[in-house]
Structure 1
Amino acid sequence: MRAWDEREGLVAMHQIRGVGWGTLDKLRQAGWDPGRPPEEKEMKTWRKAGVSSATIGRIREKWTPRWVERVSRELEKREIRAVTLLDGEYPPLLGQLPQPPWVLYVRGDVSHLQGPGLAVVGTRKPTSYGKRVTRQLAGNIADRGWTVVSGLAAGVDGEAHRAALEAGGRTVAVLGCGVDVVYPRHHRDLYKEVVRKGAVISEVPPGTEPRPGLFPRRNRIISGLSWGTLVVEAAEKSGSLITAHHSLEQGREVFAVPGPVTSAWSRGTNRLIQEGAKCVIDADDLWMELNHVPQPEAPLREGPLPGTELQPQEQALLDLLGEEPLTVDSLADRSDLPLGELHRQLLQLQVKGWVRQLPGAQFVKK
């Protein structure tokens, strides 16, 4: 009789120190059954398969019905869902990789791992141009019903997640640490928002602190979840270029936004374009390359509130706004309204759901 469920056994084994992808692969090749405790004679075959004696000793000590139950209980307590290669909920694109993660830990909506995704990555210190382009493109991706996949890092990653959330769309953040560890710390509020409206995932056990070696692995999952990777701004030795190269190795599309040749933050993206990445100057460039992918339903956007007809002055001010953000000073130069009245009209348009305020006191039409 089986002592526990196969997937529970796999998750519990994954959380034993020293048991990573390679060890699990060796165990599986040796005929390991994650649904029952191992016998002593079975462990001898593990040694022949290349599993170290020290690791086998830890497995013998830890991997018991009590341990399996404890792991399951702790995940439930922390509101973390484990999705394994044995589950139908495992992301289909990620499962196509030569070495897909055995276990993904998820906080948030697991269904966000199923729909078509597009990675949006870039520098941690974007220019104002990079921020604007990221928001415009990520917002369009989310508007189309696609999932915006990124790494919750400072800069382009954070802007991409925020744009997807503001569009009422889907977003997935892949971490280079445990799914219950917020990194970077100043993204705590964004992390909570993604958990609430999207999904945060990691391939390493909960509680794992970030360290340099985990981020290339994280980047591989970002690209592995996605039909393509869009790089907005990147220096010549940027981590986001690693994600782009993973995309190429995985047979996925690579897109890059061109920038000024004088900008250090555009050297990486311009180089990608030289090497054959699709040059993206607007969202249509993405969809031309991805028209073979079955298109999901677009999310329902929250529009203006019913019964919020505009007054003539409000309509005139709204006509000045478009997809490009404008500051109050820019609007004042284009409008005859006194500054105090301009602020009041902008507030009314926000309340009525016609206008959205962006960081830096910039405004854009919804």
Structure 2
Amino acid sequence: MLQEEVLTAWLTLSFVPRLGPKRLARLLSIDSPDNLLRYSAAQWLAIGLKPDQVRFITQHAPRQVEACLAWQSAASNRHIITPLHSDYPALLKPISAAPSVLFVEGHRQSLAHPQLAMVGSRNASIDGQKAAYQFAKELSEHRITVTSGLALGIDGHAHDGALAGGGNTIAVLGSGLAQIYPARHRRLAARIVESGALVSEFAPHTPPKAAHFPRRNRIISGLSLGVLVVEAAIKSGSLITARYATEQDRDVFVLPGSIYQANHGGSNDLIRQGASLVQTVPQILEELNTFVNWSLNEQETRQPGLFSSPESEEQLPFPELLANVGEEATPVDILASRTNIPVHEVMTQLLELELSGHVVAVSGGYIRKGRG
């Protein structure tokens, strides 16, 4: 856990009105958060802050920060994560306007798991709801974490399907974690916390606002290797997530639908623009290239002979990446830096290595294991 002084500084700067992630990044290029918090009002004004922003820092921020720290300390599964934490998701860190603070309730280690976002209409058809549930269940059975937004319709059925598949799921909220929205999904949120996580960039007691939901979509796509659009109308918010995914160099997958149903207008338009049309989970996994040399119908792994010869390093998959994973947890971004492999490719390779028993995801990154 970060020292409270540093965490206080990050929280304070994150709450300053009209100081978005990009402007905050410019401030952080001037000085560290804890040093900035020691600035005088004149110094704040000199580096470009407005008088009302300075008043907020000196008069109002301490109360909000105290409320956040109290929320975190109230339960052992509550966490406040900044980019300085090893648990800050490696895929999220390089995106445009990456959140400076994440509030997490549940298993923070799940943020490092390979994820596929699933999004779609709040007013989904029966077929759309069924598809969301079935696809999420099968993805979960193949150890893919399903990430969505806890909304009614497709989101809720995706989370439910992932849990039914025995895996975990991540819900990114457009409100604070103490203000679960929609209220009818409070029980679902509690189930998600048991094995996965709830995530928000908003302070815990922040109520839901319309402007928050498009903003949280960049986090849904940023956490994930790709985005599956299940069912979306022409003006669906899911198209915002798909656009973010494209900007973040993520794959976009779409389930096709009837040209006579308005709920599929946006989905079909994404396909026309070049998104991948998929009809089965194996097609998604093949596109992500996460299951190279991995049979989806493989029987239980046979026990190797007691005296079988060890595999040589040349025979191991992704030897360059594997050579940089040791007995101590190594974060994904560090592995990407050491190997000069893009972060999203590192995540893809790590998933296959994890599935084949060579590495295991732990708090803080990955370690070597098993046949590796």
**TM bracket (short chain):** 0.7 to 0.9
C-alpha displacement at 1:13, in angstroms?
Answer: 3.9
**Which structure 1 segments of 5+ residues have no match?**
299-366
Per the TM alignment, residue 71 of structure 1 is displaced from its structure 2 partner at its CA by 4.0
SS class of match (1:120): strand
TM-score where L is the length of structure 1: 0.74
Q: CA deviation at 1:27?
A: 2.9
Maintained 8 Å contact 1:5/1:35: no
Task: Give 2:201's match in structure 1, choosing from 197, 200, 203.
Answer: 203
Highest CA radius of gyration, 1 or 2? Answer: 1
In structure 1, distance between residues paired with 2:263 and 2:69:
44
Q: CA separation in 1, counterparts of 2:32 and 2:128?
A: 49
CA shift in 2, pair 1:69/1:186, >3 Å: closer
Q: Residue 228 of structure 2: SS of its match in structure 1?
A: strand
Cross-structure match for 1:85: 83
Aligned-pair CA distance for 1:270: 1.1
Match of 2:71 in 1: 74
Alignment size in residue pairs: 293
**Shift of the alpha carbon at 1:36?**
7.7
Equivalent position of 2:113 in the other structure: 115
Letter in 1 for 2:97: Q
Provide Cα deviations, 1:262-296, integer angstroms capped at 9, x if missing partner: 11111111111111110011111101111151326
Range that drifts further, 51-60 or 72-81: 72-81
In structure 1, which of residues 288, 291, 299 is the aligned counterpart of residue 289 of structure 2? 291
Offset at 1:37? 4.7
1:125 and 2:120 equivalent?
A: no
For the 8 Å contact 1:16–1:62, the answer to whether it is kept is no
Q: Which residue of 2 aligns with 1:99?
A: 97
Q: Secondary structure at the match of 2:194?
A: helix
Matches within 5 A, 1:335-346: none
How far 1:14 sits from its partner (Å)? Answer: 2.8
Residue 73 of structure 1 aligns to which amino acid in structure 2?
Answer: A
Aligned partners of 2:107 and 2:195 also within 8 Å? yes
- Could you give the per-residue CA deviations for residues 63-97 of structure 1, whole angstroms, max 9, x where no partner exists? 66x98666423321265310101111000100120
Residue type of the partner of 1:74? W
- For residues 46-66 of structure 1, the C-alpha deviation after alignment (integer angstroms, 9 at most, x for no partner) is 3233211111122123566x9
Structure 2 unaligned regions, length at least 5: 291-347, 356-372
| Partner Cα separation in structure 2 for residue 33 and residue 212 of structure 1 | 30
Partner of 2:147: 149
Q: Distance in 2 between matches of 1:159 and 1:132?
A: 8
CA contact (8 A) 2:162 2:169 kept: yes
Q: Which one-letter code corresponds to 2:199 in the other structure? A: I
Question: Structure 1 31/288 Cα, relative in aligned 2: closer, same or farther at 3 Å?
Answer: same
What whole-Å deviation, never above 9, does each CA across 1:128-149 have from its counterpart, x for those lacking one? 2112211121112111111100
Moved more, 113-122 or 286-295: 286-295
| RMSD (CA atoms) | 2.2
Structure 1 stretches of 4+ moved >6 Å: none
Structure 1's 71 and 266: CA in aligned 2 closer, same or farther, altered over 3 A?
A: closer
TM-score, structure 2 as length reference? 0.73
Identity %: 38
Task: Report what 1:239 is aligned to.
Answer: 237
Equivalent residue, structure 2, for 1:273: 271
